[in-house]
Amino acid sequence: MTPFHPFAKFIRTVGRGAQLARPLERDEAEAAMTLILTGEVEPAQLGAFLMLLRYRGETAEELAGFVTAARRQLDLPAAFPSVDLDWPSYADRHKQLPYFVLSAAVLAQNGVRIVMHGIKGATEGFAPTAAALAQLGVGPCETASAAAAALDRHNFAYLPLERLSPRLERLFALRPLLGLRSPVNTLARALNPFAAPCQLQGVFHPNYRPLHQHVAALLGQPVAAIFKGGGGEIQRNPDKPCLVLTLEHTATAEEEWPALTPSTAYPWRDETAQIERIGQLWRGEIEAPAPTAAVVGTVALALRYLGRAAGPVQAMDQAAAMWRGREVGATLTDSTTSGRHQTATALV
């Protein structure tokens, strides 16, 4: 009799049927993802496992185990500089322009040290994150060491998942083959590869907010803020209230932020995906009330959960002041960190 493959027990555990199947415990999930990321799983097993979890829905314990395994597979410098804010960007089809890159730019100009990481995303008819960052003179870092250097020079680094974790990125590439997203989309948002004390997460499906909040708690994340973001990114939808689920030093809570613009006055969803608008808005060459509100509102969320504002009203005031005072003639790669921390502190 042919012995079972070592990974078969994990498929059997989650797929034995309604009466016998059960979720993986955290250590089992960690072991399963370790086998996946070290290439010790057959393609048929991988597809079956991911789709079983997709159909049933991942538990927080499973995701925490997956994240722990993924973190252990990262090849990172021994002494990476401190990061203030983890910024995952994993939506693969941007139906709206990713104005959130301007929010990150404003924060970086004001002393917030950010690492953004994510996938390429679709390009035909869409506006991926990397293309939006290029409008600000920012290119992808080729290595984690290059990201460390960029962070120290500019308070910002963009590290694509294909450079951060090629094995994890390959799991994203299965979507056209399987026809569905898999748990890796949720896993990557919680990765926080450089242990930033504050993490923002924008999710597409609102029912995933409590799951991400629970995962952050299991992983010991100091501060996390999860909300339904535009297109599944960290971007305020300006014409709707924003319910944020938070984790602040083990305490979980909810905080609702009001809508920023009346939807009838400033249509938010009708613009074409002209990536040039990102740079034009940054330089003040166009007026776009709804996108501007989205940028400022996203900055305000970051300030609030970074602990640089006491509440939404103060955070919005500070964010608006930062936007008005941005260096429109400078790209992120033009700026240096000198004086930035002092500027940010003065605005609190």
- Residue 219 phi, psi dihedral angles, 5° rounding: -85, -5
Strand, coil or helix: 229 = coil
Which residues lie across from 226 on neighbouring strands?
201, 245
Quote the CATH superfamily of domain 8-72: Transferase, Pyrimidine Nucleoside Phosphorylase; Chain C (1.20.970.10)
Distance, in Å, from the CA atom of 299 to the CA atom of 96, rounded to the nearest integer, reads: 18
Tell me what percent of the residues of the chain surpass a pLDDT of 90. Answer: 75
The pLDDT assigned to 1 comes to 63
Tens of pLDDT along 172-204? Answer: 889 888 888 888 989 999 999 999 999 999 998
Positive or negative CA dihedral for 115, 121, 127, 131?
A: positive
pLDDT at 266: 63
Q: pLDDT, tens digit, for every residue of 229-248?
A: 988 999 999 989 999 999 99
Q: Is 342 exposed, middle or buried (0-12, 13-18, 19+ CB in 10 A)?
A: exposed
Fold of 85-346: Pyrimidine Nucleoside Phosphorylase; Chain A, domain 2 (3.40.1030)
CA distances (Å), origin 203, targets 7, 35, 114, 190, 267: 30, 27, 19, 11, 22
Give the type of residue at 8: A
Tokens representing 205? 């499906």
Q: What integer best gives the mean pLDDT of the chain?
A: 90
pLDDT in tens, 46-89: 999 999 999 999 999 999 999 999 999 998 998 899 999 999 99
Identify any residues that bridge with 191 across adjacent strands, giving them in sequence order.
Answer: none
| Helices 209-218, 60-72: inter-axial angle, 10-degree rounding | 50
**Ramachandran assignment for 232, one of left (phi > 0), alpha (psi -120 to 50 degrees), beta (any other):** left
Q: Write down the residue that tokens 């955070």 correspond to.
A: 315
User: Domain map of the chain by residue range?
Assistant: 8-72, 85-346
Tokens of 75: 């090849």
What pLDDT was estimated at residue 340?
Answer: 43
Residue with tokens 């008819």: 125
Output DSSP code: residue 42: -
pLDDT for position 333: 66
Per-residue confidence band for 270, with pLDDT thresholds at 50, 70 and 90: low
Q: What average pLDDT score do residues 294-321 get?
A: 97
Rounded distance between C-alpha atoms, residue 78 and residue 76, angstroms? 6
- Amino acid in position 241: P
Confidence class for position 274, pLDDT limits 50, 70, 90:
confident
Helices 312-324 and 289-305 cross at an angle (nearest 10°) of: 120
Q: How far apart are CA 102 and CA 146, in angstroms?
A: 22
